[in-house]
């Protein structure tokens, strides 16, 4: 299965785009957000790109967000 870009549900400030981009490229989400703001100040295209990604990119699936819970406690009724 390939690596996909999703909007992050757990590490989001606005729409989860910066968190999703950071996870996709293996970067720190704070650094991605700072770069996004700097790009917005100097060009403005990043705002349009952010809105476009927020509208087009799917939310991260719930199963990918949290691993399944397993009970690791010993069974008190086991012999």
Q: How far apart are CA 54 and CA 6, in angstroms?
A: 10
Phi/psi at 59 (5° precision) = -70, 150
Give kind and range of the element (H or E) at residue 41: helix 29-42
Domain boundaries, the chain: 1-59
Q: What is the mean pLDDT of the chain?
A: 77
> Given a cut of 50, is residue 55 above it in pLDDT?
yes
Q: Which of 38, 11, 40, 15 is nearest to 23 (CA)?
A: 11
Model pTM score: 0.64
Q: Write out the two tokens for 72.
A: 């690791």
> Given a cut of 50, is residue 1 above it in pLDDT?
no
Rounded average pLDDT over 23-27: 87
């Amino acid at each position: 299965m390939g690596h996909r870009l999703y909007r992050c549900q757990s590490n989001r400030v606005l729409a989860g785009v910066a968190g999703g981009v950071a996870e996709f490229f293996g970067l720190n989400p704070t650094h991605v957000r700072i770069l996004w703001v700097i790009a917005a100040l100097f060009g403005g295209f990043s705002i349009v790109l952010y809105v476009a990604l927020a509208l087009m990119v799917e939310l991260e699936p719930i199963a990918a967000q949290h691993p399944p819970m397993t009970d690791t406690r010993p069974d008190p009724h086991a012999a």
